[in-house]
Structure 1
Amino acid sequence: MKKVFFILLLAIGSVSYAQVHDPIKWSTSVNKISDNEAELVITALIEHDWHLYSQNIPQGGPIPTLFTFNGDSRYLKKGNTSEPNGHEIDDPIFEMKIKYFDTKAVFKQKIRLKTTEKFKVKGMVEFMVCTGENCLPPKEVELTFDIN
């Protein structure tokens, strides 16, 4: 009986250890600027000790954060996605200046609305997160914005 209990405990521990760690929680919202303009807001809540890289990383560095938005005739993207100030360091591993975010990062994308009807803007964020000791492989997360 003790052997069965031990094997069961070992199996449960292996399964829980193998679960994927997801240190970033993404959320979306929309700020209405005017009748024909809105701002898509993407918020990343970042777990303690983890950091998310900027969209602007030099060649040869870690994978930058990248936002893509599905094309749709009901809106037009205005400019590039903005990001907060973050932290800039001389990274000893990549041997370059790298900008990253910890705790929270809010990204914003302005759009021009071509209709007054309700619709959804779909998009994707590709990103990489690291601690001082390790990095997770790049990941993609779908984003949805309700335009009312």
Structure 2
Amino acid sequence: MLLCTAGAVCAQDLKDISHWKINLSKTGPKAGEEVEVVFSAEIDQNWKLYSSDFKGDIGPLPTEFVFNPGNNYELVGNIEPVNPLKAVDPTWDKAYTYFVDKAEFRQKIRLTKANAKVTGTIKGLLCSNVDGLCVPFKEAFEVH
């Protein structure tokens, strides 16, 4: 059993479990337009990433997207996971959603200025389907 007590060492050893790409749904959007920020993740075999659309009161932590405030854009609605799988936690008897292999999340934004830069962080939990090891992660993003 691997126990992560030195966060830096564990993060370094296990940092490549998920690989994120962040893009806008449209190239060259203009001020006033609505576009989506598309978060895509490739997830290593035998690992799962928890989704963002369930309450974190059952043990698994939902993936969280934090957008840094800026005057270049405004959020429209909430982040939406695209086709997550669903399961019921046997301990708490509550449903949660997750992804294996690939994950996608979309956030609509309205640009208030052209060439807007959108920044923030993704925070979540990846868990092994083999031994149950769970690894929290936090990753900065930037897209424009």
Higher helix share: 1
Structure 2: segments with no counterpart, 5+ residues: 1-8
Q: Give the equivalent residue in structure 1 for 2:41.
A: 44
Cα offset for 1:70? 0.6
Letter in 1 for 2:59: G
Quick check: 1:128–1:135 contact (8 Å CA) kept in 2? no
Query: TM-score by structure 2 length?
Result: 0.80
| Unaligned 5+ runs, structure 1 | 1-16
Query: Structure 2 CA distance, aligned partners of 1:93 and 1:60?
Result: 8
The within-5 A match list for 1:60-139 is: 60-116=58-114, 118-132=115-129, 133-139=131-137
The runs of at least 4 consecutive aligned structure 1 residues that moved more than 6 Å come to none
1:27 aligns with 21
Q: Greater CA radius of gyration, 1 or 2?
A: 1
Deviations 1:72-124 (A, max 9, x none): 111111000111122111233554322110011111111111112x2421011
Amino acid at match of 2:13: V
TM-score, normalisation: structure 1: 0.78
CA-CA distance at 1:144 after TM superposition: 0.7
CA-based RMSD of the aligned residues comes to: 2.1
- 8 Å CA contact 2:127–2:135 kept in 1: the answer is no
Per-residue deviation at 1:56? 2.3
The equivalent of 2:4 in structure 1 is none
